[in-house]
Structure 1
Amino acid sequence: MDFALDEEQREIRDWVRTFVRRELVPLEPEVLRRERTGQPGLTRDELKELQHKAKDAGFWGVLTPEEHGGMGLGAVMAALLEGELGRTFVPFRFGGTADNILFHGNEEQKERYLRPTIAGDRVSCFAITEPGAGSDAKAIRTSARKDGSDWIINGEKTFITQGNEADFTMVFAVTDRERGANGGVTCFLVDRDMGWKSEPIPTMGEWGPAALVFDEVRVPEENVLGEVGRGFELAMQWIGQGRYLLPARALGSCERLVEMAIEHAKNRVTFGEPIAERQAIQWMLADSAVEIEALRWLVLHAAWLVDQGADSRQAQSIAKLYGGVKANEIVDRVLQIHGGMGYTRELPVERWYRELRLLRIYEGTDEIQRRTIARNLLKGHAKVTGSLG
């Protein structure tokens, strides 16, 4: 086994690390100020400006295939880069990406939706979750009925990422109630100007999801993505595209947080000694270091399986579950080490505290991950001996 990065991988990682330190970290005070007054941390124009700075250095479409103008770096490098971006809470992401299911569009759909999204000229959102259908995606009630050559969509979606900013959505609706998820759900590409509306959903963190409402929204037949009745397969492909990237970003956050805790512990003096000399503090740091190292290899192993074309679902669920639980424990310890100051808004620890809590819910709750892991074991789809067993 060779756990070392090759020279090219190190160069790519180090460039992103430098980019984060020079371009993003200095923005943190202003991002905090804006968020605390109800503004977005970065405007769309500011994000695009940062993305184009990265593009000038060749960083565009990390996972996008080269034939579409991306870097096509693969899952392991994507995980490494996501970890570097996680070292700041500035809401930056590399440009040049599009939802994986858009690559299933026909040539006309690629021209209207895929390529403009990769170029950054269009913004999409993925709409499957509903008020009564979260983890149970098969329970969706949004419907689409045929009317001549068009489809009429009615229903509501909730907790939709980028739903407030998107100018088109990939919405999943029931087209044949009797057939259910397997053969009865279809994905539609629906422009905002076709009539759907969005409303922001306030949250405890800075994630700004939306509720989408479809009231007799008319969609032409040519806007069906893939095949009628085959939408659930596309949905599962989207959901499983990169679950490892969520704990990868949390990994970077945990590294930065523990570094902050170490620095504070060295400088905070009580009863004549730095608190770094206290065993209680040392054990919190030690436990966090162990968990960070374990998370690193869970994430990279899941990403490696993706690159190998192997079944990575169990590994991704394990990384997602462990990452969500441990990131929350680590940020809690870091806040505790900072004492009262950690609880204030003068430091960004409370900001990370709120952000990382979402990881245990977003894109598959802890409970769903445990259910998936256990079922895979019980049905013989996975073994406790792992992929080396």
Structure 2
Amino acid sequence: MDFSFSDEQKAIRQTARDFIAKELISREPEALRRERKGLPGLEISEVRELQQLAKKFGFWGVSTPEQYGGMDLPAVSQALLATETGRTFIPFRFGGEADNILYFANDEQRDEYLIPTIEGEKLSCFAITEPGAGSDAANIKTSAKRDGDDWIINGEKTFITGGNDADFAIVIAVTDPEKGAHGGATAFLVDRDMGWTSHFIQTMGEGGPASLVFDDVRVPARNMLGEPGQGFELGMKWIGKGRYIIPARALGAAERLLQMGIEYATTRETFGKKIGSNQAIQWMIADAEVELEAARWLVMHAAWTVDQGRDARHASSMAKLYGATMANDVVDKVMQIHGGMGYTRELPIERWYREARLWRIFEGTDEMQRLIISRDLLRGYTKVGGHLS
């Protein structure tokens, strides 16, 4: 059993870490100042400039197939890179990517949507969640009705990441009410100029998702993605993609936060001694390190399972559940170590505190992960210690 990374993986990780330290972490003070004024930490134009700069370092299309100019890295390498981007709260991801279900596009759709998205000429968003259908995605009500050669979409989507800036949305709508979402939902590629509108949703974090409103939006039949009735299946493929990437990002945040806590504990003095000499502080640091390492191997095992071509849903749910709660616990401990200073906006701890809370909610809540894990065991889909057999 070999837990070491290859020389190539180590080189990729170090190059990414150097890039992020130089180009992103260095921008954090300015990003915090902007956010305090209600402005985005990075403008879209700045993100694109950074993506092009990262491309010169070789980081382009991390998960994109080589035929489209991507790196097509194994899942473990992708998780390592996600950990590195998680070391900063600045919202950045490497360019050259497209939603995984866009690869179900036909030849015409590839030219119009997939390739422009990979090349950064278009921005997409994925729209399945609705006001009455969050964790219960099968309860979606947005409808698409046939009208000649077109489909007419009506409904509302909510909490859509990137929905305020997207040029087009991948919309999951019910096309056969009798079958419901399972077998009766279909995916559509819907350009903004077809008539849908977006509205910013204010959250406790920075930036924010959007609500999308579709009021008799006419979509050509050629814009159907995949097959009729395949929408829910595609939606689950999209959601499942992030189940090990989210906790991988959480690892990077927790690593940096814990290091901040250690540095503060070894420099801050109270009552004539460093606070790190107090057992209460020592235990918080020790517990955070144990939780961090446990989460790391859950994440890496989930990614390894993907690389082995196995069904990774169970492993990914465990990684998502534990990784997200771990990061919330670590940021809380680090804030406690810093005391009142950690609660201020002079340090990025409170910024991470607010963002980390989202990791336990989006793309599958803690409760949904527990449901998946327990169901797999109770129904015999997997067994205790099954990943070792």
TM-score bin (small chain): over 0.9
**1:146 match:** 146
Measured in 2, the distance between the counterparts of 1:4 and 1:15 equals 18
Report deviation, 1:182: 2.5
**1:39 match:** 39
Deviations, residues 313-334 of structure 1 (Å, cap 9, x unaligned): 0000000000111111110000
Aligned residue for 1:2, secondary structure, equals: coil
**Which residue type is aligned with residue 20 of structure 2?**
V
**1:347 match:** 347
Structure 2: runs of 5+ lacking an equivalent:
none
Aligned residue for 1:382, secondary structure, equals: coil
Deviations, residues 1-35 of structure 1 (Å, cap 9, x unaligned): 11111111111111001111111111000111111
Deviations, residues 202-223 of structure 1 (Å, cap 9, x unaligned): 0001241000000000001100
Measured in 2, the distance between the counterparts of 1:49 and 1:78 equals 22
Q: Which residues of 2 match residues 154-193 of structure 1 at below 5 A? A: 154-193=154-193
Measured in 1, the distance between the counterparts of 2:376 and 2:388 equals 16
Report deviation, 1:229: 1.5
Measured in 2, the distance between the counterparts of 1:46 and 1:78 equals 23
Measured in 2, the distance between the counterparts of 1:233 and 1:258 equals 39
**2:283 match:** 283
Aligned residue for 1:387, secondary structure, equals: helix
- Whether 2:150 is the aligned partner of 1:125: answer no
Q: Which moved more, 1:106-115 or 1:222-231?
A: 222-231
Report deviation, 1:285: 0.1
Is the CA contact (8 Å cut-off) linking 2:185 and 2:232 kept in structure 1? yes
Measured in 2, the distance between the counterparts of 1:53 and 1:23 equals 9
**Which residue type is aligned with residue 108 of structure 1?**
E
Measured in 2, the distance between the counterparts of 1:222 and 1:158 equals 25
Report deviation, 1:270: 0.6
Measured in 2, the distance between the counterparts of 1:286 and 1:108 equals 55
Measured in 2, the distance between the counterparts of 1:234 and 1:328 equals 30
Q: Which residues of 2 match residues 232-247 of structure 1 at below 5 A? A: 232-247=232-247
Measured in 1, the distance between the counterparts of 2:316 and 2:183 equals 27
Is the CA contact (8 Å cut-off) linking 2:102 and 2:114 kept in structure 1? yes
Deviations, residues 276-299 of structure 1 (Å, cap 9, x unaligned): 000000000000000110011000
Structure 1 vs Structure 2 CA RMSD: 0.7
**Which residue type is aligned with residue 327 of structure 2?**
A
Aligned residue for 1:199, secondary structure, equals: strand
**Which residue type is aligned with residue 176 of structure 1?**
D
**1:222 match:** 222
Measured in 2, the distance between the counterparts of 1:127 and 1:136 equals 14
**1:26 match:** 26
**2:66 match:** 66
Aligned residue for 2:2, secondary structure, equals: coil
Taking structure 2 as the reference length, what is the TM-score of the superposition?
A: 0.99
Report deviation, 1:384: 1.5
- Whether 2:317 is the aligned partner of 1:317: answer yes
Number of residues of Structure 1 aligned to a counterpart in Structure 2: 389
Measured in 2, the distance between the counterparts of 1:158 and 1:266 equals 45
Measured in 2, the distance between the counterparts of 1:242 and 1:271 equals 47
Percent identity between the two aligned chains: 66
Deviations, residues 64-98 of structure 1 (Å, cap 9, x unaligned): 01111100111100000110111111111100000
Measured in 2, the distance between the counterparts of 1:385 and 1:262 equals 35
Deviations, residues 97-130 of structure 1 (Å, cap 9, x unaligned): 0001110010000000000000000000000000
Deviations, residues 150-180 of structure 1 (Å, cap 9, x unaligned): 1100000000000000010000111110011
Q: Which residues of 2 match residues 90-129 of structure 1 at below 5 A? A: 90-129=90-129
Report deviation, 1:242: 3.0
Measured in 2, the distance between the counterparts of 1:26 and 1:57 equals 18
Measured in 2, the distance between the counterparts of 1:327 and 1:386 equals 26
Aligned residue for 1:12, secondary structure, equals: helix
**1:83 match:** 83
Aligned residue for 2:319, secondary structure, equals: helix
**1:210 match:** 210
Measured in 2, the distance between the counterparts of 1:182 and 1:245 equals 26
Aligned residue for 2:219, secondary structure, equals: strand
**2:5 match:** 5
Q: Which moved more, 1:193-202 or 1:54-63?
A: 54-63
Is the CA contact (8 Å cut-off) linking 2:60 and 2:96 kept in structure 1? yes
**1:57 match:** 57
Report deviation, 1:386: 3.3
Measured in 1, the distance between the counterparts of 2:236 and 2:88 equals 30
Is the CA contact (8 Å cut-off) linking 2:164 and 2:199 kept in structure 1? yes
Measured in 2, the distance between the counterparts of 1:386 and 1:47 equals 42
Is the CA contact (8 Å cut-off) linking 2:62 and 2:72 kept in structure 1? yes
Deviations, residues 21-57 of structure 1 (Å, cap 9, x unaligned): 1111110001111111111111111111111111012
**Which residue type is aligned with residue 315 of structure 2?**
A
Taking structure 1 as the reference length, what is the TM-score of the superposition?
A: 0.99
**2:307 match:** 307
Is the CA contact (8 Å cut-off) linking 2:40 and 2:207 kept in structure 1? no
Structure 1: runs of 5+ lacking an equivalent:
none
Deviations, residues 228-272 of structure 1 (Å, cap 9, x unaligned): 122111111111123100000000000000100011111110111
